[in-house]
Copies of this chain bind each other. A is one copy, B any other.
Amino acid sequence: METIDIQEVVTRDGLQIEDQFVPTEKKIDLINRLSAAGVNKIEATSFVSPKAIPNLRDAEDVMLGIDRKPGVTYTTLIPNVKGAERAAACKVDEVNLVVSASESHNRKNVRKTVEESFSGFSDIASFLTGTGISINGSLATSFGCPFEGSVSEDRILGLINKYLELGADGITLADTTGMATPKQVFELCSKVLHRWPDLPLTLHFHNTRGMGLANVIEGIRAGVTRFDASLGGLGGCPFAPGATGNICTEDLVHMLTFMDYHVRTDLDQLISTANYLETILGHEVPGQVIKAGKITDLHPM
């Protein structure tokens, strides 16, 4: 029975684009519930400028306020050495670096060339040496760029190599705006894992065009065992108003559980936490299983 790791991003990728600031104690509560549900990793927050992302201005309070459950990896997104210092002060287990695979998206997102981003990552890696904090390298727009279109597999392989050269412990290929097709996922991941068979490789999918869980299936078939997902399917894409966001954690865990994969995360606890998320936000979330119930929830005639 193959084991699949569930990596939760709702309090970072989900909450950062909400219209409202979710109070710190609610964020802490959410993360604690997700830890209790048994997710493998939680991207708790982002140590970016509070001006850039006001919704995550409470990053320190969140990281220091949560219960750190043994066996769960607590990671945070960081953009620079300043972020690394803040993350280290909070004793995160891992930092997550992000650069876009496409130049235009990186320029739009962080106003840097890809080369400039990697130069900054070198400084971060130097700063973190000896701290025991792991580094995960994320490649946004790995499956396509909303400005440039397709991104070549060779470019992705080259950028993974750059991350590994500066000491990254794991890599995430992110489908930032939901452009990946199942065929592309299988082909790219097969090549990556052929070249680096032991690489801790995560896939980060958005369900923007409905292909999210299909992409997971083909990622698993290529050998990937780690997936990012967002509780309730929260998240989204600025280019696709009304479209769904990140793939939904409870929908993902529901599918994998009933496909007999070993998933450490408890589905019922996830579903109740997704319901709690709706009460926090005051609006519906895109997840399907919290509306439809599990396939084992039978109905009276």
User: Chain A: how many interface residues by the 8 Å CB criterion?
Assistant: 53
* A137 CB–B CB distance under 8 Å: no
Q: How far is the CA of A73 from the CA of B212 in the complex (A)?
A: 31
Q: Are B296 and A255 in contact (CB-based, < 8 A)? A: no
* A251 CB–B CB distance under 8 Å: yes
* A80 CB–B CB distance under 8 Å: no
**Residues of chain B lying within 8 A (CB to CB) of residue A40:** none
Q: Given A147-B298, A259-B181, are A292 and B240 also a contact pair (CB < 8 Å)?
A: yes
**Residues of chain B lying within 8 A (CB to CB) of residue A213:** 210-211, 213-214
Q: Given A218-B217, A243-B288, A291-B240, are A211 and B296 also a contact pair (CB < 8 Å)?
A: no
Give the shortest distance, in Å, between A277 (CB) and chain B (any CB).
Answer: 16
Q: How far is the CA of A218 from the CA of B251 in the complex (A)?
A: 17
* A282 CB–B CB distance under 8 Å: no
**In residues 90-145 of chain A, which contact B (Cβ within 8 Å)?**
104, 107-108, 144
Q: Are B179 and A289 in contact (CB-based, < 8 A)? A: no
Q: Are A292 and B251 in contact (CB-based, < 8 A)? A: no
**Residues of chain B lying within 8 A (CB to CB) of residue A255:** 181-182, 209-211, 214
* A198 CB–B CB distance under 8 Å: no
Cβ proximity bits A149-190 to B, threshold 8 Å, 1 near / 0 not: 100000000000000000000000000001101111000000
**In residues 182-234 of chain A, which contact B (Cβ within 8 Å)?**
182-184, 207-214, 216-218
Q: How far is the CA of A209 from the CA of B107 in the complex (A)?
A: 37
* Given A181-B258, A213-B213, A239-B299, 13 more pairs with CB closer than 8 A: A144-B295, A179-B295, A181-B259, A181-B295, A182-B255, A182-B259, A183-B259, A207-B288, A210-B212, A210-B288, A211-B255, A240-B293, A243-B288
